[in-house]
Amino acid sequence: MYTGGCLCGQLRYEARGEPREQGYCCCADCRKASGSAFVPFLNFPPDSVRFSGRMTHSVVKSFRGPDAVRNRCALCGSLVFGGPVGRAEFHTLYAGSLDDPSLFRPTIAIFTRDRPQWAVLPPGLEAFETLPGV
């Protein structure tokens, strides 16, 4: 079980099973949303994740065209997960929101074309200029 939530504890999640992917996204949208060089993420099927608490979300166009939804705590504003609740193909949990950060074991880096020169990624990741298969 993966558990986590926001800084103030009002927005929480539980994810059962293993994530489909774990890695780093260096796209410009993730950099701007996080205020960092990348977002460390874990992708889970939507039926394996439960959320509790109030959230707000922002919507921008994704690389492939549909909306990309990022969800934050309505109280403290922490960035917690991506994907529209009830309509997502998968939910992207942001690794910084995990209760146990040792559960994050990245294997990929995506949108490396957008990675700032000063951002160093761990060695051994499978790197993609954009998305795998694109």
Radius of gyration from C-alpha coordinates of the chain: 14
Nearest alpha-carbon partner for 52 in 85, 79, 96, 92: 85
Q: Are 47 and 56 in contact (CB under 8 A)?
A: no
Question: What does the pLDDT read at residue 65?
Answer: 65
Question: What does the pLDDT read at residue 71?
Answer: 95
Q: Are 129 and 111 in contact (CB under 8 A)?
A: yes
d(CA 71, CA 47): 17
Q: Structural domain boundaries of the chain?
A: 2-127
**Mean pLDDT in order along the chain per 10 residues (134 residues):** 98 97 94 93 96 93 76 96 87 97 97 95 95 83
d(CA 131, CA 134): 6
Question: What does the pLDDT read at residue 64?
Answer: 66
Question: What does the pLDDT read at residue 22?
Answer: 98
CATH superfamily ID and name for 2-127: glutathione-dependent formaldehyde- activating enzyme (gfa) (3.90.1590.10)
Question: What does the pLDDT read at residue 133?
Answer: 79
Question: What does the pLDDT read at residue 68?
Answer: 84
